[in-house]
Amino acid sequence: MREIVLDTETTGFEPTEGDRIVEIGAVELFNHMPTGRTYHQYINPGRSMPKAAFEVHGLGDDFLRDKPAFREIGQAFLDFVGTDKMVIHNASFDMKFLNFELSTIGLPVLPFGQAIDTLLIARKKFPGSPASLDALCRRFGVDNSGREKHGALLDSEILAEVYLELIGGRQPDFGLSSLVEKTSNSANDQAEWRPKPRPVPLATRLTEAEAAAHAVFVEKLGASATWAKRQ
């Protein structure tokens, strides 16, 4: 199962008011584990950077001047994401900007159902507790010491660790999904996988005295007892 952990940086809060994406960072996961493959792109927004936004991510006009416009990288971004799930913290914000940029240049928009919102997961799992990325890093002991300013790729890498903790740790399925995938020829095989019986049954640890005591106990329960029916 492939997933894309994604983050963006922007010039502000509303694309309909002229704000634009200036950075996209994404990390590829396979069966919930990082593959080492990433997507990272700085983008020239075609407008000046507001001071408030610059203080958040540190991306200024001089740095972004020679970077490509979104129309030059939009298709490559879609090709990287594909139809796989995107893991995003506060997905409504990033999806709003991504789909505005995509629609502006005539490319297909991303279905909102393709996004997994870690902010919503965190609020549901820890109601009433802070659910920012920094707060979740503190909760799970994820190192975010390099996060002096927001950066899309760094934040995606951090979010990937947080996401794995939110869904149950680094091995939420104990590796069974990857084992099945290696030994199966199709997705149907994986869905139908069942553990096989042991070739040699484990030896009983029940002593003769314990077995006799159990038999006496079951006899006292009467013929209608569940234990009697299972014998």
Looking up residue 80, the CATH number of its domain turns out to be 3.30.420.10
Secondary structure tally for the chain: helices H, strands E: 11, 5
* % helix, strand, coil for the chain, step of 5: 45, 15, 40
Quick: pLDDT tens for 92-122: 999 999 999 999 999 999 999 999 999 999 9
Is there a contact between 118 and 32 (Cβ–Cβ < 8 Å)? Answer: no
Is there a contact between 89 and 163 (Cβ–Cβ < 8 Å)? Answer: no
Q: How far apart (Å, rounded) are the C-alpha atoms in residues 43 and 41?
A: 6
Please check whether residue 44 lies inside any domain of the structure: yes
Residues 20 and 71 both lie in one domain = yes
- Mean per-residue pLDDT, 209-227: 77
Is the pTM here over 0.85, yes or no?
Answer: no
- What pLDDT does residue 192 have? 55
Q: 41-61: buried (b, 16+ CB within 10 Å) or exposed (e) per residue?
A: bbbbbeeebeeebbeebebee
Higher-pLDDT residue of 43, 222 = 43
Residues 176 and 129 both lie in one domain = yes
Count CB neighbours of 220 within 10 A.
Answer: 8
Residues 127 and 220 both lie in one domain = no
Nearest alpha carbon to residue 105 among 155, 153, 70, 79: 70
Please check whether residue 195 lies inside any domain of the structure: no
Quick: pLDDT tens for 140-167: 999 988 766 678 999 999 999 999 999 9
| Number of domains comprising the chain | 2
**Statement: residue 133 has pLDDT above 90:** yes
Residues 67 and 142 both lie in one domain = yes
Is there a contact between 152 and 25 (Cβ–Cβ < 8 Å)? Answer: yes
Higher-pLDDT residue of 181, 54 = 54
Residues 211 and 177 both lie in one domain = no
Phi-psi region of 209 (alpha: psi -120 to 50; beta: other; left: phi over 0): alpha
Q: Is 150 a catalytic residue?
A: yes
Catalytic residue among 32, 57, 89, 150: 150
Range of the domain at 211: 204-231
Residues 25 and 131 both lie in one domain = yes
Please check whether residue 29 lies inside any domain of the structure: yes
Higher-pLDDT residue of 210, 82 = 82
